[in-house]
Amino acid sequence: MSTDLNHKSEQIHAKKMGQNGIVQPLLTDLYQITMAYAYWKAGKTEANAVFDLFFRKNPFHGEFTIFAGLEECLKFLEKFCYSHSDIEYIKHILPASIEPEFYEYLGSLTAKDIKVYAIEEGTVVFPRVPLLRVEGPLIVAQLLETTLLTLVNYASLMATNAARYRMAAGKLKLFEFGLRRAQGPDGGLSASKYSYIGGFDGTSNVLAGKLFNIPVKGTHAHSYVTSFSDFSELTERELQPKNGGFPKNLLELAVHFRKRLVSIFSVLLSEVNDGELAAFVSFALAFPENFMALVDTYDVKKSGLINFCATALALHELGYKAVGIRLDSGDLAYLSVVGRTYFKKVQEEYGIPYFSSLMIMASNDINEETILSLNEQGHCIDSFGIGTHLVTCQKQPALGCVYKMVELDGQLKIKLSQDVEKVTIPGKKDAYRLFGEAGFALIDILQKSEEDAPSINQKVLCRHPFQESKRAFVKPSKVTKLHVLCFDKGNICQPLKNLQEIRKNVEDSLKILRPDIKRNLNPTPYKVSVSDNLYNFLHTLWLQNAPIGELS
């Protein structure tokens, strides 16, 4: 009973705080909290830190990434605070020796003194450029690490994956069908949301549709087709014509059209499955305006297409226009061409103008490479339904964003590594994107925050952060500052964009990249540089911090 009450009051508290149940301060690694205690004991409550959140390598063997997850980060910060029961739980897992005043301190923490500078959600981004710069009290900034990373990593990976599918598919429609295969319920919801941002047109995930206002779409499964064995199961057969009048028997009409279709397509009537026709007719009766049929349950050429065309002709007779078919097995390029040929033939035979352009949707283990290969082969597919490969990001299951301290109380911090690529770039930095005359982005440059922004038509020396000989002068025809202050004094201080607007950002942002950077095979790396000033500063600090060994 008392547990129930506790649970209830906890729910009320969470609701008051606006937390969504999953994204909350305890969604973190234990070490953030143990560090908080040790920082507190070490008297670092007044220390001010700057952290950069960035990744080191683009995913999917590509040369670009789409930044996503910002809105969720900001909403998390707005509500950041440990509840009474959070504190009780932390007490329970930490050693008894923890000083009780620490819990009071922890219970009083919020993100009101945190500032977040971020790149706009949906922007194309590159390695080493901070996606977020988090400034504020060390202990709070540290406590945010894991949650911010989990909010950005999958979101950005998913949006990037979706954007790659979008580029492969060109103008064809893309629908996300992955919930059943996603990494759990939260993975499934995030996949639907971020694949929409990346350029998908809709999802089959109904909750995602409701929560995020994403178009929801769907056809039917093989089970619907196999659930019918013959016509006798069709108890309801009548459909009222679209423009009124007496209802007509849709099955009778379909059977009538089917007789002629088998001879047009040289198929034996005995080869065409009656259960399949019963299933199609019953689905058409339920959804006369949205009739879409899965045609590969028995035999696409000898049964599915014939039964579909018969049903679509019957619907046409009553003033309704069928939508199309879905192919879910076999050679999708070949079968789509066959499907289109059938539709054209029916159009010619019956003089129905829209028939040749009925929709052909393809599904079944589709990935980016399958789409590219289908494009090479030639096909007649209008839309793809994509699940497993998209939502699980099978080609690369994680993005490696990290969260590194770059400054503490004005002191610059550097993390050294044997691996040059892993050395962090110290200090508070601003990032600018420099554009060439053709309108494409040429290079990103990181500068110390106190440096003046690069100016249009003024030569800027851009240096590779670690390779001394790699440098170039750039005379930008346009300069954009990448970071804006998004969170300050406990509030989100930029207008939040809706998903459609973020989706548009992705589309526009990708247009500024040269095609060779976006291509699938061996793309050209986009350059990320540092200013001469930052270069010298980084290398001086590096030398100061790198121990000098002794050979003996």
Ligand X SMILES: O=P(O)(O)OC[C@H]1O[C@H](OP(=O)(O)OP(=O)(O)O)[C@H](O)[C@@H]1O
Ligand Y SMILES: Nc1ncnc2c1ncn2[C@@H]1O[C@H](COP(=O)(O)OP(=O)(O)OP(=O)(O)O)[C@@H](O)[C@H]1O
For residue 183, state whether it binds ligand X (rule: CB under 6 A).
no
| Closest chain position to Mg ion (CB) | 364
- Beta strands 124-125 and 65-66: pairing type? antiparallel
Cβ closest to ligand Y, residue 134 vs residue 325 = 325
| Closest chain position to ligand X (CB) | 387
Neighbours of 309 (CB within 10 A): 30
Query: Any residues with CB less than 8 A from the CB of 10 and at least 6 apart, and which?
Result: 83, 85
| CA distances from residue 104 to 45, 101, 216 in whole angstroms, order as listed | 13, 5, 47
For residue 241, state whether it binds ligand NIO (rule: CB under 6 A).
no
> What residue ranges in 232-329 does DSSP mark as E strands?
238-239, 248-249, 292-294, 324-327
Helix, strand or coil, per DSSP, at residue 407: strand
For residue 331, state whether it binds ligand Y (rule: CB under 6 A).
yes
For residue 187, state whether it binds ligand X (rule: CB under 6 A).
no
Query: Any residues with CB less than 8 A from the CB of 4 and at least 6 apart, and which?
Result: none
For residue 373, state whether it binds ligand Y (rule: CB under 6 A).
yes
For residue 385, state whether it binds ligand X (rule: CB under 6 A).
yes
**Which one of 214, 272, 366, 474 is in contact with ligand Y (CB under 6 A)?**
366
CA pair distance 307, 310, nearest whole angstrom: 5
As given in the structure block, the two tokens for residue 475 are 């005379």
Provide Rg for the chain, Cα atoms.
Answer: 29
As given in the structure block, the two tokens for residue 512 are 């500024």
For residue 291, state whether it binds ligand NIO (rule: CB under 6 A).
no
- In the complex, the smallest distance separating the C-beta of residue 292 from ligand NIO, rounded to whole angstroms, is 8
For residue 367, state whether it binds ligand NIO (rule: CB under 6 A).
no
Q: Residue 218 binds which one of ligand X, Mg ion, ligand NIO, none, with CB within 5 to 8 A depending on kind? A: ligand NIO
Cβ closest to ligand X, residue 15 vs residue 180 = 180
Q: End-to-end CA distance of the chain: give it in Å, rounded.
A: 72
With CB under 6 A as the contact rule, which of the stretches 32-40, 133-141, 386-394, 406-414 interacts with ligand X?
386-394
Cβ closest to ligand Y, residue 81 vs residue 362 = 362
Applying the rule CB under 6 A, the residues between 67 and 86 that interact with ligand NIO are none
| Per-residue buried b or exposed e for 260-299, using 16+ beta carbons within 10 Å of the residue's own CB | ebbeebebeeeebbbbbbbbbbbbbbeebeebbbbbbbbb
Q: Residue 388 binds which one of Mg ion, ligand NIO, ligand X, none, with CB within 5 to 8 A depending on kind? A: ligand X
Residue 208 CB-density burial (10 A; 0-12 exposed, 13-18 middle, 19+ buried): buried
- In the complex, the smallest distance separating the C-beta of residue 262 from ligand X, rounded to whole angstroms, is 27
Query: Any residues with CB less than 8 A from the CB of 333 and at least 6 apart, and which?
Result: 374, 377, 378, 379, 381
For residue 364, state whether it binds Mg ion (rule: CB under 5 A).
yes
| Closest chain position to ligand NIO (CB) | 218
With CB under 6 A as the contact rule, which of the stretches 80-88, 128-136, 192-200, 357-365 interacts with ligand X?
357-365
User: What single-letter DSSP state applies at residue 314?
Assistant: H
Applying CB under 6 A, which residues contact ligand NIO? 177, 204, 218-219, 326, 363, 385, 387
Applying CB under 6 A, which residues contact ligand X? 177, 181, 328, 363-366, 385-388
Applying CB under 5 A, which residues contact Mg ion? 364
Applying CB under 6 A, which residues contact ligand Y? 329-333, 364-366, 370, 373-374, 377
